[in-house]
Amino acid sequence: MARFDGKVAVVTGAGVGMGRSTALRLAREGARVVAADISGEEQSTASEMPDLIVPFKVDVTRASEVESLVAEATGRFGRLDIMCNVVGVAGVAQAPLPEVDEDEYDQLMAVNLKSVYLGMKFAIPAIVTAGGGSIINWSSVGALVSSPNTGAYGASKAGILAMTRSAAREWGAENVRVNAICPGFIYPTGMTLMGEQRFPDAVKSASSKSSLNRPGHPDEVAAVAAFLASDDASYMTGSYLVVDGGWTAGA
């Protein structure tokens, strides 16, 4: 049997990059997946494996839409076992802190941090009803190491780690495991492609920080997500795994 036979997953940001790779990886291992995105590219992801993946358009910063997303999974498939909160943005509010635009700050926090809060808010009760399961939240090496002009971004990603730990403590007795992934420079993703357009020098610098002398690929992060979602990680909760090619080893 595949690891996720009989399991149901929701993956946000599933139109491109790590979200797309994660949706496909879980489906290849037997899960039925709701691939969620706002871009329309979730349709392309679902078309790769239409028997196992269904698309769902959602704005993950809006509570009513995230509630509908979870309801789609439970209504269509009868349960929810895995929630992957992948959506994130960079290159917004990227400036020295006194120069950060307040509207950009609010946008960054909504996409990066509020989306994870909403994903857990609606997924946890559904996963409890299913008898337990796994939540994986996408943080970043930016939560662990700092650099100029990234204070707001780092704060949003550090907040994800704090919420991950709290949720793990709150829901462990209900067999809900909550972990996070801290990717380094992964290419291509929606985030890195946008950053490449707006901040090419910063992207070039980030791509050179890996000890492996290359960027990571979304499939490499998806493999770690699949591990955390599976029973192979049955005693892991409230933790995070760094997938950065050795970036933070030299920080």
Q: Which residue in this structure is represented by tokens 């290419």?
A: 187
Can you tell me the distance from the alpha carbon of 158 to that of 223, in angstroms, rounded to the nearest whole number?
A: 23
Structure tokens at 105: 């700050």
Structure tokens at 159: 């907040």
| Catalytic (active site) residue 105 | no
* DSSP H or E run through 180: strand 176-183
Can you tell me the distance from the alpha carbon of 203 to that of 130, in angstroms, rounded to the nearest whole number?
A: 41
Which listed residue (105, 153, 187, 240) is catalytic? 153
* Neighbouring residues of 29: CB distance < 8 A, sequence distance ≥ 6: 2, 3, 4, 226, 230
Residue in 68, 81, 72, 85 with CA at minimum distance from that of residue 22: 85
Q: Enumerate the H helices of 78-188 as residue ranges.
A: 102-109, 115-129, 151-171
Contact present, 88 and 191 (Cβ < 8 Å): yes
> Residue 208's Cα: distance from chain center in Å?
23
Can you tell me the distance from the alpha carbon of 166 to that of 135, in angstroms, rounded to the nearest whole number?
A: 13
Amino acid at 241: L
Give the torsion sign (CA, 36, 38, 41, 43): positive
**Catalytic residue positions, numbered:** 153
